[in-house]
Amino acid sequence: MKKCILIPLIVLLLFGCSNKVENNVALAPPDNNEVVESETINENEVYEKEDATSIVYYTHDLSSDGLLKVYNALNQEIVGNVGIKVSFGDRNEQILNPELLKGLIEKTNGVMFDGNGLSGHRATSERNLAIAKENGYTDVGKCIMVSDDDYIDMPVNNGLLLNKARTGKEFDDFNTLISVHRVKLHNIQAFGGNIKNVSLCLANISGKCIIHSGGKDDKFYHNTEPEVLMKSFADATKAAIDYKKNWAFIDVLDDIDPVDSCKNTKNQGKIGIIASNDIVALEQCAVDFLINKAQVDEKTKNDWKEWHQIKVIEYCEQNKIGNRIYKLVNVDNINNNEDIKKITNEKNVNLQENKSDLQINDNDMDKLKLYIDDVEVDVDWEDNDSMKQIGELAKQNPIIINSHQYGGFEQVGEIGQNIVSNNIQMTTEPGDIVLYAGNNIVVFYGSNSWSYTKLGKINKNREEIEDLLNKAKVTLKISY
């Protein structure tokens, strides 16, 4: 934990995008129980991934019960202390209605938290907590601010620009994270969604300086060019999600009045609430609702996207923290969570690889090798669909994973694409190899209890495994 003393800062907020304000037709929600595929950001653009691997849950019910229903559909495991990342807003600002959080707070016993701003009456914790009280947040639960003086640096592994992101020490106290944000499109220039909430809004004052300067300064605000800012947002988001793995994300899409000068804008009304375990899919879904399906011409849509820096979603996808291809499942008129699971499984047949297409056989699996920093290790691989897909990938090219140490008990790294998973709660042992979050390979030299898909087991004793893995970084290779 580190300490930092900062000089007071002045921040310029950027508004405007065009000139005349005209009308836009509100977007209708999908039919009950309908599963809708996402649209591309550009009609001429082709996604690299053919099948959706992420689910976004939707409800038109803009209430505490509606928010809780889409959250329950995520099946997040609630472990330890729960932090609910919100923005307490400002005076006279269009804020997230705190009443929506009542059911979530009662279920999780979560603590709402936010980061201080760079200037004015949002520059101190005392002032922000006073605003939180004025805006009604303290009426529904406990509210705290992350510290500016005592901070933690979260590493950015294989990012686009930054090497770290920063927030207050209080963030370390949470084991389960839920980010809830009221999406604001035509507000300030940067897209006001969940990516902003877990990057810039999560940062303390010096962390905000790091983001705004593209990693060059932790003491002063910089009016950074959009490309640098978008990459910084994406890197800070990656850092937060990698640092605390147990996240859920919720976007509230309700009647926000546009306040910039983008043309053809209008209050789009009460669209609903969307939730996902994948922040990239969630933000793409929000853009599809607010821009891609808006009844305006393509030039206007593209102008909105450029001005509001929607490309930040692509940068997050490049950082391998999620996918823009998703399936949207409407949970309205579904009675319980088991029924939600049933409809999801019935209508999302493409969420998993077609088993008949996995051509690897047992003899091939016996030949599959694991190397840790070029040291070949003997592995008993699991006979499941996850390993069949990994085996097929390794047939095409060796799979190289640049992993990093996490938690003092594991090495974790991204495999580069989503793998079919069948997670179960387990307590791992040294040598266990598992799939985490669909696109991360984890190799343990210690133990952890979590929901994983088992991939294999290294045939070495604890001391040998620790010698190979108990270091800052290793390179894993899976090949024939």
**Residue predicted with more confidence, 294 or 205:** 205
Q: What are phi and psi of 12, to 5 degrees?
A: -100, 125
Average pLDDT in the 11-20 region? 34
DSSP tag of 390: H
Name the strand (E) or helix (H) holding 104: helix 102-108
Confidence of residue 223 (pLDDT cuts 50, 70, 90): confident
Residue spans of the domains in the chain: they are: 2-347, 355-479
Task: State the Cα–Cα distance between residues 279 and 195, nearest whole angstrom.
Answer: 7
- Specify the amino acid at residue 290: L
Which fold, 355-479? Cyclophilin (2.40.100)
Task: State the Cα–Cα distance between residues 75 and 69, nearest whole angstrom.
Answer: 11
Cα–Cα nearest to 443, from 465, 411, 421 = 411
**Residue predicted with more confidence, 74 or 27:** 74
Confidence of residue 163 (pLDDT cuts 50, 70, 90): very high
Strands in 2-3's sheet, in edge-to-edge order, are 2-3, 150-155, 164-168
pLDDT in tens, 271-303: 899 999 999 999 989 888 877 666 667 777 777
pTM score: 0.64
Average pLDDT in the 104-128 region? 90
Task: State the Cα–Cα distance between residues 340 and 403, nearest whole angstrom.
Answer: 35
Q: What is the structure's pLDDT at 365?
A: 74
pLDDT at 247 over 50: yes
pLDDT at 218 over 80: yes
Average pLDDT in the 75-90 region? 92
Give the number of other CB atoms < 10 A from CB of residue 133.
13
Q: What is the structure's pLDDT at 325?
A: 86
pLDDT in tens, 32-59: 334 444 433 332 232 233 456 789 999 9
pLDDT at 222 over 60: yes
pLDDT at 15 over 50: no
